[in-house]
Amino acid sequence: MKADIDAIYAKGIRLSPEAYDFLDTAAISAAVLEKLIANAGNEPIISKETIESLIAQEEKIPVEPVIIARAPSFKPIAKEYSSDFRVLEGSDLSGKSNCTGKIDDFVGHFRNRFERIQKVLRSRLSENSVVPTNKLKATQGDKVRLIAIVTEKRVTKKGNILLDVEDEEGNAKVVIMKDTAGFKACSKLMLDDIVAFDGKNADELFISDTITWPEIPLMRKQKRTEKDIAIVYLSDLHFGSKKFLENDFSNLITWLNGAGERQDLAGKVKYIIVGGDVVDGIGIYPEQEKELAVKDIYKQYEMFDEAISKLPDYIEVIVGPGNHDAVRRADPQPPIPTDLIHTDVTLVGSPSQIEIEGLRHLVYHGTSLDSIIAGMTGLSYSKPEDAMLELIRRRHLSPIYGDNLIVPESHDYMVMDVEPDIVHMGHVHKNGYMMYRGTLLINSGTFQDRTDYQVKMGHVPTPGMVPILEGKSGKLNVLDARNGKVNSITFSA
C-alpha cells in the first residue's frame, strides 16, 4: 500500500519495479515493515523476493531444537573454576568510532599506524642509529638506520630494487642491491609496509643491505595458564545457510556436555571464542538467497542462540563479528548488536584483544587474508597459517591499504602494539596452526560445507575441525566433530 511505500522511501531505501508494484497492491504487517527497514543495509535495492521471504518468515517457523545427549557421569573440572577473562580496554571498536570520512581522517590514521609500528621497531633496534629522511644527507657515508613506509617498489635495469619511502619528516629513495641479504627480504616487501633499512646515504639514494620487520621478539616462550582449563576456537559457523553442518555442530555441543571420547578434555573447556561469521547473513553476495535455508537475519541469530543455550552454563562464550554478520563490513568491525544475540555471551569487535587466564588473545575474523594471499607469492588458502604469519611479522592485521576495506579511524585498531600469546582467525574456512616465537597461530576453519563458489575456485575447506588449547600444558588438540575423534597437533622445533 502507498503508506508502506512512503515509509520505506522515507528511510532512503529504494525498491525494484516488481517490489513497488507488489507493495502498491498489498499491505504488509508492521513487523515485516520493521524487518524490511532493518535489513535494507544489506541490499541496495529491495527486491520482491526479499519482501516475500520476510512475509513467509513472519509465520514464525520454529527453530529446530538441538538434541543433546548428556552424560550423567561427566564431572567437568572447568565447573570448579571461576572465570578469569577481560576484553582489554581500547582494543576493539566498541562504541568508539570517530571517522567522518574527511581527508584528515586518512592522514591521522596513517600517522597513528606509523608512530606505533615505528615504536615497535625502535624497541627492537639500537635507538641511536635511527635517522629521519630529512637528515640523511648529513650522514653521508655513515652506517645508519632509516624507519619508513614503502610507497612504491620497482626493479631497476640492473636488477636491483628501488623503493620510494616516507616517514613523518619527508621521503627518500632506497636501493636494495641484488647481492645483499636485504634483496631476498624484498620478495616479501609490499606497499604500505613499515620496516627499518640499514645502510648508507649516497647523494640522492639510500643504499641499504638489510631490512628489519617489526616482528615478534625471538626469545619468547609459549605462555601457559595456572588452571587446568581448555579453550575452544570456532569461526565461520554460517547459521542459516543450506550448507550449515547442523549435525556436526550438534555433535560438538554433545561432546562438550561429556558424551563421547576424551571426557577429560571436554571437562576442561571453560571458554569458547567464536571468531565471526556467526550467521550466513542476507545479501552478502549475488543470488545468496538460493543458498539460504533461513532468509530472515533475526532467525539466523535465533538458531545460534538456541544452539548456545545447550552449552554447559559454566562455559564462557566470546563472540566477534565477520563479514557475513549484521555489522559494517569494513575493518575494524564493531560488536554484533545486542538485539540480535540474546544468550549470555560476551560480544566483542574485530579485531579485539582478550586476556583469558593470563593468555593475551588477538581475535580477528581474518578478512584481510584474502589480500595478503593474493598479493604475495607463495601464499595460498590451503595454508592460512602462512598468511597469518606475514601479518604477525608486520605487526599489522591489514597492511595493504585499499585491498581490504578499512575505515580510517584515528586510532588504527589493526596495529599489534603488544605481542599476543594466541592469534585466532577464520574467514578462509581452512584449519591451520603454527607456533611462531612463542605465539600460537590458529585458524579455526568452519561449520559450513563446501559451497558451489568454493568448488569453482578449487578451494577445499576443512569443516567441523575444532581446535582446543589446553592452557596448563600448552597442548593443542583438534576434535573432528563428524566422528568425535580427538587428535593432537605437534609443532616442529
The per-residue pLDDT for range 157-210, each reduced to its tens digit, is 999 999 999 999 999 999 999 888 888 888 899 999 999 999 999 888 999 989
* Contacting residues for 92 by C-beta, under 8 A, at least 6 apart: 332, 334, 335, 348, 349, 350, 351, 352, 353, 413
Give the angle subtended at the CA of 326 by the CAs of 285 and 313, to the nearest 5°: 125
User: Mapping DSSP to helix (H, G, I), strand (E, B) and coil, where does residue 211 land?
Assistant: strand
Task: List, as one string, the DSSP characters of 123-150.
Answer: HHS-GGGB--GGGSGGGTTSEEEEEEEE
Do the Cβ atoms of 356 and 85 come closer than 8 Å?
A: yes
Residue 124 backbone dihedrals phi, psi, to 5 degrees: -100, -15
Q: What is the three-state SS of 266-279?
A: HCCEEEEEEECCCE
- Check the CA dihedral 348-351-355-357 and report its sign: positive
* Contacting residues for 139 by C-beta, under 8 A, at least 6 apart: 131, 200, 201
Cell numbers of 384, please? Answer: 592460512
Say which CATH class 125-212 falls into: mainly beta
What is the reported pLDDT for 113? 95
**Any idea what DSSP says for residue 41?**
G
Domain boundaries, the chain: 2-57, 77-96+227-489, 125-212
Helix 30-38 / helix 297-308 crossing angle, nearest 10 deg: 90
CA-CA distance, 303 to 89, in Å (whole number)?
A: 31
pLDDT along the chain (493 residues), means of 10: 68 73 68 70 68 64 49 87 93 76 86 95 79 89 92 93 94 92 88 94 89 90 96 98 95 94 96 97 86 94 96 97 94 94 96 97 97 92 96 95 86 94 97 96 96 83 97 97 93 68
CA-CA distance, 193 to 174, in Å (whole number)?
A: 14
**Any idea what DSSP says for residue 68?**
-
Q: How far is CA 12 from CA 5, 38, 74, 281, in A?
A: 11, 12, 55, 21
**Any idea what DSSP says for residue 376?**
S
Domain covering 77-96+227-489 in this structure, CATH number:
3.60.21.50
Burial class (CB in 10 A: 0-12, 13-18, 19+), 172: buried
- The amino acid present at 33, given as its one-letter code, is L
CA-CA distance, 151 to 139, in Å (whole number)?
A: 23
* Contacting residues for 60 by C-beta, under 8 A, at least 6 apart: none
Do the Cβ atoms of 422 and 469 come closer than 8 Å?
A: yes
CA-CA distance, 252 to 479, in Å (whole number)?
A: 8
Whole-prediction pTM? 0.84
> How big is the chain, counted in residues?
493
CA-CA distance, 267 to 73, in Å (whole number)?
A: 11
